[in-house]
Structure 1
Amino acid sequence: MTAPLAPGAQLRHGRVSLALSFFVQGAVFALLVTRIPAIQDRYGISDGLLPVFLAAVPVLAGVGSIVTEQLVKRVRPSRVLRCVQPMVCLALPAVGSVGSMAQVAVALAAFGLAVGALDASMNMLGVSLQRAYGRSIMLGFHAAYSLGGIVGASLAWAGAHWKLSLGLLYGPVVAVLVPLAVVVGRWFVDQRDVAGPGRPEPVQSAEAIPGPSGPTSASQAPAASAAAVTPVAMRLLLPLCLVMAFAYIGDSTVSNWSAKYLQDVLGSSEQLATVPYNVYMVTTLLGRAVGDLGVRRFGAVAVVRCGTVVAAGGFAVVAAAPGAWAGMAGFTLLGLGLCVIVPQTFAAAGRYAYDSQGAGASDMAVARLNIFNYVGFLIGSPLVGALGDAWSYRGAMLVPMALVLVTLVYARSFGAPRAGYGDRHERPRTADVG
């Protein structure tokens, strides 16, 4: 086995800039979703109409991801991200300061479309950078997103505590985030930046590159990626799409039902009921911060299996919890378990498409997979609510547990058995390359 090339300055700058982009998106998204009640009150959105508004955003985000799949056939993902991230940031003050319900609906629609393109292009760049590094770094990007979410949620709490208007809360934050997004966008790096004419492809060693019909030389890879791209058949990506959807059903269960569950089912105080989601976000950050080390040491398959079992155990603890603190422990386990699944699902889809069809197919596969992020988000909250009302909320927690456990069936899809990468101190069978 040949050790991967050491990352150059361009790749290091690309990695830092992309991590900052993930951080910005995490902060913006948290600032929006945690202030939904204030948005509802400001514009007089009824309880019956609110679910329509909330469902429209992920639906339009899915449309944005589909558009991005077609767009990256002609435009680099880095350019897409450079354009849409400021748009997502600017949607915040628009949501907080427009004058009517119709106008806020337009602002939320623009946010949904742009955020779909942003999520897809960010993960495309993350997958290609991981491939260039030759080792797992994808979890680190999602850790930056989690950190941004914690910062955004904290700012939202401060705004609510000091009774700031939405415009006063969002305006100064966006005044900082938009210039940051514009500046870091100058250093984004995608596959076509690091594998241009006359430059060796840092993604691969001089050894064989796995392909659909056997190994090809590294010198052939750029030419292959420049050819017309045939997208990977959806049926081949379906296992990873299901894993993505089920992971987000679990995630949306925590974000939408943890407070109600702790207060109504486990009898906690109103103040304590706000804690589980914060604990969940912190453990998600911690799990992702160290997750790449686990992937490098034990392999993606082992890490995903472990995360799945821990997440399922968390749901089981929540369902059986005799009291609030036991429920809190269950939500803590959920954060540690679920946090590794989504980044590794993007990495696995990108790797499989790249091995089959090249870099362009990898970008398209990531965009398709990203749609199931929103599918899971749309299904999770109403599914648990309907089961809770018809049956019991304890029993409802067992359904996302069972869905998450399906990941064990497809765990082998996360491996890279043919990849010829890995530092010399790493085991060949454990190298995970997006």
Structure 2
Amino acid sequence: MTQTLDPVRARTGISLFFFTNGAMMAGILPRYPEVKAAFELSNTAFGFMVAIGPLASMLASSLPAPLIRRFGASRTALLWTAAMGVAMSLAGFAPHFLVFAFALAMAGFSDAIVDAAQNVHGVRVEDAYGKTIINSLHALWSLGATTGGLVGAWAASQRIPLSVHLTGVAIALVALAALATWLGRLPNGGRPTVSDEAAGASSTKLPKGAWALLLPLVFLAIAGVLTEDVAANWSALYLVQVVGVTAGVGGLGYSVMLAAQFIGRLLGDPSTDRWGRVTVARIGGAMIAVGGLLVVFFPALPTVLIGYALAGYGCATIVPAAYAAAGRLPGLPEGAGITLVSWLMRAGFLATSPIIGAVADLTSLRVGLFLLVLGGVGVLMLAKVLTPVDHEA
């Protein structure tokens, strides 16, 4: 008996799944000041510790494709979401920073697989739905991360033990992900077609000269996503250590950035249709740079939150635009451009936090966060690489 597809239900399911993925790891971020203080870490040591997640995610880069082919995208995403939940719970109970770092590594490893699987399933739902929905899915991820960050900030303000907070959230989100998987199921279980498998098999074989086209897009993506990395790993510490707010209020920086990013992603498609990707990217880069200047030079709660809001809105469309351009580069196998931009963008995370931490220890955290301004300038300088996409037939 052939299973019929309810596209509205499938869209609801995959949207809910993106929400759970965004929320899963966001709750721990507002509590980083507690973690840093509990383990007595320097800024440099803290920077290296939080970089372990991106490093582990890179190690998982070869796993999603065979897992998706074997089990289907939705089942793969659910299984590794459960693994993320276990990792977050372990982080809450960690008696030593090495155990905490291992938990972050496990979470980052799992998240790389979930990210690929949910996007594969999202594209298939989009095809079945008959209209573009991928940007709204990423907006739901931002909403989930905002929600998770607010819950984490509230838990910090109420002095709820980290173990209770993270374990409770993990159980709730895994259950929600299971519901989302059931709602978003496809007739074939989300497994790729033969043509998809063939494309995936050749996805790393690039023609000569391809790297010259890809690397500018990689640098653009890294510059654009820098806002997320700074806000996720350093905003709470900055607000607590430099601005002088309480731990509960410290979590607002990341939440404000994500909320602004959510709005920017909802408005990204009509803005791009009206003004083009290059113009939107340049405006975004300017907003990131101005937001960074507010954060660094005016360290008061209102101006810092406004700065993160500007940067969050500005970065909203940068990575999707880089993905779109990479996917349309001539002469590349299907999926190769997006896969490599995504992988190398994660590699960029390995350097960001250690650099900020080292600069902060040598000078101050305010100087370290000037990297946010440089990211905005980088977007302004690199936005032109999106020009071929605007004129793609």
Q: TM-score, normalising length from structure 1? A: 0.72
Per mean C-alpha deviation after superposition, the further-off stretch among 234-243 and 165-174 is 234-243
Post-superposition Cα deviations, 1:169-222, rounded to whole Å, max 9, x if no partner, equal 1233222211211222234468976899xxxxxxxxxxxxxxxxxxxxxxxxx7
Change (3 A) 1:108 1:314: closer
Q: CA deviation at 1:13?
A: 2.8
Q: Quick check: which has more Rg, 1 or 2?
A: 1
* Corresponding residue SS for 2:202: coil
Whole-Å separation in 2 of the counterparts to 1:300 and 1:133: 25
Equivalent in the alignment of 1:421: none
**Separation in structure 1 between the aligned mates of residue 94 and residue 363 of structure 2, nearest angstrom:** 39
* Residue range with higher mean Cα deviation, 100-109 or 137-146: 100-109
**Aligned in 2, Cα 1:366/1:133: closer, same or farther, shift over 3 Å?**
farther
**Equivalent residues of 2:322, 2:386 under 8 A apart:** no
CA distance in 1, matches of 2:214, 2:167: 41
Q: What is the percentage of aligned positions where both structures have the same residue?
A: 25
Q: Which amino acid aligns with 2:147?
A: V
Is the CA contact (8 Å cut-off) linking 1:120 and 1:367 kept in structure 2?
no
Picking from 374, 382, 390, the partner of 2:346 is 374
**CA offset at residue 63 of structure 1?**
1.1
Aligned position for 2:147: 151
**Does residue 1:286 correspond to 2:263, yes or no?**
yes
Q: 1:348 to 1:132 in 2, by over 3 A?
A: farther
Per the alignment, residue 88 of structure 1 pairs with 84
The yes-or-no answer on 1:346 pairing with 2:338 is no
Pair 1:28 & 2:5 matched: no
1:350-365 map, 5 Å: 350=327, 357=333, 361-362=334-335, 365=337
**8 Å CA contact 1:23, 1:145 repeated in 2:** yes
Asked whether the equivalents of residues 220 and 379 of structure 2 are also in contact (C-alpha less than 8 Å), the reply is yes
Q: Distance in 2 between matches of 1:316 and 1:99?
A: 38
How many residues align structurally? 378
Between 375-384 and 386-395, the greater mean CA deviation after superposition: 386-395
Stretches of structure 1 lacking an aligned partner (at least 5 in a row): 1-7, 197-221, 419-434
C-alpha distance in 2, partners of 1:156/1:195? 35
Name the structure 1 match of 2:120: 124
> How does 1:28-427 map onto structure 2 within 5 Å?
28-40=24-36, 44=39, 46-47=41-42, 49-69=45-65, 71-72=67-68, 76-97=72-93, 103-130=99-126, 135-188=131-184, 224-225=195-196, 227=198, 229-231=201-203, 233=206, 235=211, 236-258=213-235, 268-270=243-245, 275-316=252-293, 318=295, 325-350=302-327, 357=333, 361-362=334-335, 365-386=337-358, 389=362, 393=367, 396-415=371-390, 417-418=392-393
Q: CA deviation at 1:59?
A: 0.2
Q: Distance in 2 between matches of 1:396 and 1:105?
A: 24
> Is the CA contact 1:60–1:113 (under 8 Å) kept in the aligned structure 2?
yes
Q: How far apart are residue 303 of structure 1 and its match? A: 3.5
Residue type matched to 2:202 in 1? Answer: T
Paired position in structure 2 for 1:11: 7
- Equivalent AA in structure 2 for residue 338 of structure 1: C
Residue 147 of structure 1 and its aligned partner are, at CA, apart by 1.4
Deviation (angstroms), 1:380: 2.6
Q: Is the 8 A contact 2:294 2:303 kept in 1?
A: yes
- 1:64, 1:115 within 8 Å by CA — same for their partners in 2? no
> Aligned to 1:242, what secondary structure does the other structure show?
helix
**Alpha-carbon distance change, 112 to 27 in structure 1, aligned in 2, over 3 angstroms:** same
Residue 182 to residue 303, structure 1, CA distance change in 2 (3 Å): same
Give the whole-Å Cα distance in 2 for the aligned partners of 1:373 and 1:306.
21
CA distance in 2, matches of 1:188, 1:368: 27
Greater mean deviation of Cα atoms: 71-80 or 104-113: 71-80
Q: Tell me how far 1:30 sits from its aligned partner.
A: 0.9
- Structure 2: 5+ residue runs without aligned partners? none
Please state how far the C-alpha of 1:408 moved relative to its aligned partner.
Answer: 1.0
Counterpart contact for 2:18–2:138, Cα < 8 Å: yes
Contact kept, 8 Å, 1:138 with 1:343, in 2: the verdict is: no
Q: Residue deviations 1:97-151, cap 9 Å, x none?
A: 3555554444333222111111222233334544555654322112211211222
- Give distance in 2, aligned partners of 1:401 and 1:371: 21
TM-score, structure 2 length as denominator? 0.79
CA contact (8 A) 2:323 2:341 kept: yes
Deviations 1:321-378 (A, max 9, x none): 597655543332211111121233334444559x954xxx42x654433323433333
CA contact (8 A) 2:91 2:100 kept: yes
Give the root-mean-square deviation of aligned CA atoms.
Answer: 3.8
Secondary structure at the residue paired with 2:119?
helix
User: For residues 242 and 131 of structure 1, what CA distance do their matches in structure 2 show?
Assistant: 30
Bigger Cα displacement from structure 2, 163-172 vs 95-104: 95-104
Structure number with the higher helix fraction is 2
